[in-house]
Amino acid sequence: MYAFAFHRPTSLRQAASLVGKLEDAKFIAGGHTLLPTMKQRLAGPANLIDLNAIPELAGIERSARAVTIGALTRHAEVAESKDVREAIPALAELAQMIGDPAVRHRGTLGGSVANNDPAADYPAACLGLAATIVTNKRKIAADDFFKGLFETALEEGEIVTRVSFPIPQRAGYMKFRNPASRYALVGVFVAKRAGEVRVAVTGAGANGVFRWKEAEERLKARFAAKSLVGLSHSPEGLNSDIHADAQYRAHLIGVMARRAVEAASNRE
């Protein structure tokens, strides 16, 4: 690991000011992506800005139409939140599936969303629920936020402050995990709201999370697992690596989508 200066602001304004003044600065929250790359000397920022001492970035709020979760909220807090479990149980279940207890008690929602790992779980929830990502500068719809592999709409120095998830009529999430990392080889988040069904896929796409429009059309006509029987996703454009080839991931998309719909339907 290369030498760096460590900064610990206590307000969002202070953090934004620091990143504007410091050269080669990176934000850190849970640190599950940045710290390993720094240890391997694949990254060497001159300055680290720790966001953990900013209380306004944490917490969960529920309204009649949405659940809003602060960027510093830990995965374990989302999984255990009564408000999340009652309003969007699929989101609580997704958080419970992330990593292991050590990861869930340290990793943050904002870090996962801002990093946009192609196998991460939260991007599927954001896209599936048509969430709004709120930063210190603006509000960004999930459809406009995720741009590609580890790429988002965030500008230099922009900070994710919270994510607002609309409460759906039904939702479900299922993933096929890598047994070692517990990352999704394929994960599918399905959500139904008035007049709209969204199906978001993570772990499979070479460019990160994406929506499966053909499945959405089938489920809009009839929200049932049987509606997806016989529908398969093309392997074109999907990941192929030592863990699973594109053809296998294409198969898993259909399987996980049907299971997610079943999970959502069983909550009636």
Q: What is the CATH number of the domain that holds 163?
A: 3.30.465.10
23 lies in the same domain as 45? yes
39 lies in the same domain as 107? no
DSSP codes of every residue in 188-245: EEEEEETTEEEEEEESSBTTS-EE-HHHHHHHHH--SGGGGTT-----TTB--SSS--
38 lies in the same domain as 133? no
Q: Are 92 and 108 contacting, i.e. CB atoms less than 8 angstroms apart?
A: no
Q: What's residue 32's pLDDT?
A: 84
Q: How many domains does the chain have?
A: 2
DSSP codes of every residue in 154-169: PPTT--EEEEEEEPPS
Q: What's residue 258's pLDDT?
A: 98
250 lies in the same domain as 125? yes
26 lies in the same domain as 107? no
Q: Are 204 and 263 contacting, i.e. CB atoms less than 8 angstroms apart?
A: no
107 lies in the same domain as 234? yes
148 lies in the same domain as 233? yes
Q: What's residue 33's pLDDT?
A: 84
Q: What is the CATH number of the domain that holds 16?
A: 3.30.43.10
Q: What's residue 199's pLDDT?
A: 98
35 lies in the same domain as 145? no
Task: Tell me which residue range forms the domain holding 24.
Answer: 5-50
26 lies in the same domain as 68? no
Q: What's residue 128's pLDDT?
A: 98
Q: What is the pLDDT along the chain (268 residues), one digit of tens a residue?
A: 889 999 999 999 999 999 999 999 999 998 888 888 889 998 899 999 999 999 999 999 999 999 999 999 999 999 999 999 999 999 999 999 999 999 999 999 999 999 999 999 999 999 999 999 999 999 999 999 999 989 999 999 899 999 999 999 999 999 999 988 889 999 999 999 988 999 999 999 989 999 999 999 999 999 999 999 999 999 999 999 999 999 999 999 999 999 999 999 997 6
Q: How many CB atoms lie within 10 A of CB 40?
A: 9
259 lies in the same domain as 157? yes
- Give the total residue count for the chain: 268
193 lies in the same domain as 80? yes
For residue 117, what are its two tokens? 């790992």
Q: What's residue 206's pLDDT?
A: 87
Which of 32, 50, 68 is the C-terminal boundary of a domain? 50
140 lies in the same domain as 179? yes
